[in-house]
Amino acid sequence: MIRTATACIFDMDGLLLDTESIYTQITQSIVGQYGKTYDWSLKGNMIGRPMLDSARYLVRMLELPITPEEYLKERSGLARTEFPKCHPMPGARELVSHLSRHNIPIAVATSSHRNLYEIKTTRHQNWFALFDAVVTGDDPEISRGKPAPDIFLIAAKRLGVDPVSALVFEDAPSGLEAGIAAGAQVIAIPDSNMDKSRYTGATQILASLEQFNPERFGLPAIRN
- Work out the angle at residue 120's Cα, subtended by the Cα atoms of residues 122 and 210, and round it to the nearest 5 degrees: 105
* Cα(109)–Cα(211) distance, integer angstroms: 21
Q: Are 183 and 7 in contact (CB under 8 A)?
A: no
Which position among 11, 132, 138, 139 bears the catalytic label?
11
Q: Are 9 and 169 in contact (CB under 8 A)?
A: yes
**13 is known as an active-site residue:** yes
**39 is known as an active-site residue:** no
* Cα(143)–Cα(123) distance, integer angstroms: 30
* Cα(109)–Cα(116) distance, integer angstroms: 13
The residues carrying an active-site annotation are: 11, 13
